[in-house]
Amino acid sequence: MRLVRCPLCGATNYEHSRCYRCSSWVDLDKKGSLSKAIAFLIAALIFYIPANIYPILKTAQFADTKGSTIIEGVIELWHSGDYPVALIILFASVMIPILKFLILIYLIIAIAKGSCKGVEQKVRLYHLIEVTGPWSLIDVFVVVILVALIHFHSVAIVPGPGATSFALMVLLTLLASKSLDPRLIGEDCGK
Ligand SMILES: [Zn+2]
């Protein structure tokens, strides 16, 4: 067995094992990490489209079935004067996912190119999406519940296909960031 240095803390370990000191994996799999992250990111981007063009929920009032997309919900809330709620939904469901996509694309390109500029900032950006990751599943419920508030008088409210796509998009973005090994950021830069 070969001895390798832990890429995180520098302790010497046997290869293909977890570090005895910090318990991170000592092997860096750049190709595997990048290709998994890219695959999940592309899948997430694909689901972003139906998440926004299909109704996030459907309301049935009498014989009439009506669906609202995220944007329609935001516009309706805005017109009824719920400005903070409209802005929160717009932020949580439209802007945060786009921001995460951009950060992931930027980090994937930087890792693929082995860029050594602003390594610390990149690690910080990575942790930013890591921190917001599990929380963004809450967006799904916030969006569904808040858009439902507009239709509180309706007989039946069921999640539309947009809600499923939105949940899948959030999950796939989470998997993309989990697949990306942050230790690959600036790994060839000899810290
Ligand atoms: Zn270690």
Q: Per-residue pLDDT tens for 98-153?
A: 989 999 999 999 999 888 888 889 989 998 887 765 565 666 666 666 666 666 55
How much distance in Å is there from the Cα of 25 to the middle of ligand 1?
8
Q: How far is CA 177 from CA 9, 38, 76, 95, 182, in A?
A: 22, 10, 33, 17, 9
How much distance in Å is there from the Cα of 30 to the middle of ligand 1?
18
**pLDDT digits 0-9 by tens, 153-179:** 555 666 778 888 888 898 899 899 989
How much distance in Å is there from the Cα of 8 to the middle of ligand 1?
5
Task: Say how far apart CA 126 and CA 100 lie, in whole Å.
Answer: 9
Q: What amino acid is encoded at 19 in this protein?
A: C
Evaluate whether 163 touches 144 at the Cβ level (below 8 Å): yes
Q: Which of 149, 154, 44 shows the shortest CA–CA distance to 103?
A: 44
How much distance in Å is there from the Cα of 11 to the middle of ligand 1?
5
Residue 60 pLDDT more than 80? no
How much distance in Å is there from the Cα of 26 to the middle of ligand 1?
7
